[in-house]
């Protein structure tokens, strides 16, 4: 199954400083058909006004990945971690046994990001935060694992049965991604793509649309126009 979830039909929230769209149930948005996808629990598309952000707040037992599309986000937590993550990069936070953190857009312009939560495969782990400067050109024409609980070399480790990939395709380029039937969810951060499974028709997705995939051994992703793609693949929940 490959299902398109158009951006305009996602959950929405507008706090002035924060404009958010929810691929899954979150905050005041409730959709019983969209609570999770495998171990993927949250995928929010947040747009944060300059010099604003999320004040200190707590989390427990969740793997939280932030993928920055535009601008930058500045992180600070009670463990003493502080850092800035720029467009095209990610930060990973294992909430584990508990973490108090704040996220601010300290830039002059709006920051846009994907906030992605993955259910952990181990609870009560020591809380941590990490960001790595991945070379963007290494993602040209392919999907690269940036965060993974599957032991991918160079990826930030996750306490989760899954992985987050990112890549960039020029218009007309295509790549294949093996899934072995596992749930996957992908969103073009920019551009437009077509996703095709075994024996199926292409499903076209524009920027910020969601594509939910399951029971596919492999998918083909083709760029209709220059595209930046983020994909999360996880195990099924028991």
At residue 136, the pLDDT reads 85
Both tokens of 52, joined, read 């604003």
pLDDT band at 86 (very low <50, low <70, confident <90, very high): very high
pTM: 0.96
- What is the dihedral angle through the alpha carbons of 223, 89, 209, 93, rounded to the nearest 10 degrees? 140
* Fold of the domain spanning 10-134: Jelly Rolls (2.60.120)
Instruction: Name the token pair of 186.
Output: 């992908």
pLDDT of 60 higher than 70: yes
The segment(s) of the chain belonging to CATH 2.60.120.10 are: 10-134, 143-234
Question: Taking Cα atoms as reference points, which of 15, 43, 25 lies closest to residue 208?
Answer: 43
Q: What is the mean pLDDT of residues 124-147?
A: 95
Which tens digit of pLDDT belongs to each residue from 17-51? 999 999 999 999 999 999 999 999 999 999 999 99
Residue 238 has pLDDT above 80, yes or no: no
Is the per-residue pLDDT at 16 higher than 70?
Answer: yes
215: left (phi over 0), alpha (psi -120 to 50) or beta: left
Two structure tokens written together for 37: 């996808």
CATH topology of domain 143-234: Jelly Rolls (2.60.120)
Contact 130, 90 (CB under 8 A): no
């Amino acid at each position: 199954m490959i299902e398109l979830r158009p951006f305009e039909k996602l959950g929405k929230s507008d706090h002035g400083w924060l404009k958010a769209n929810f691929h899954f149930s979150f905050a005041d948005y409730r959709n019983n058909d969209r609570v999770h996808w495998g171990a993927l629990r949250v995928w929010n598309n947040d747009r944060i006004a300059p010099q604003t952000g999320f004040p200190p707040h707590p989390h427990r037992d969740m793997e939280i990945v932030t993928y920055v599309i535009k601008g930058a986000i500045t992180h600070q937590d009670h463990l003493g971690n502080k850092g800035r993550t720029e467009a095209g990069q990610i930060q990973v936070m294992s909430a584990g046994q508990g973490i108090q953190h704040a996220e601010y857009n300290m830039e002059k312009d709006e920051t846009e990001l994907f906030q992605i939560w993955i259910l952990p495969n181990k609870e009560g782990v020591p809380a941590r935060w990490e960001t790595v400067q991945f070379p963007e050109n290494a993602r040209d024409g392919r999907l690269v694992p940036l965060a993974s609980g599957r032991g991918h070399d160079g990826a930030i480790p996750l306490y989760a049965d899954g992985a987050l990939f990112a890549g960039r395709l020029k218009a007309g380029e295509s790549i294949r991604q093996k899934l072995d039937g596992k749930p996957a969810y992908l969103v073009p951060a920019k551009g437009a793509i077509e996703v095709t499974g075994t024996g199926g028709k292409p499903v076209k997705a524009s920027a910020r649309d969601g594509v939910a995939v399951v029971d596919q051994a492999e998918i083909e992703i083709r760029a209709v126009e220059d595209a930046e793609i983020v994909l999360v693949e996880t195990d099924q929940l028991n």
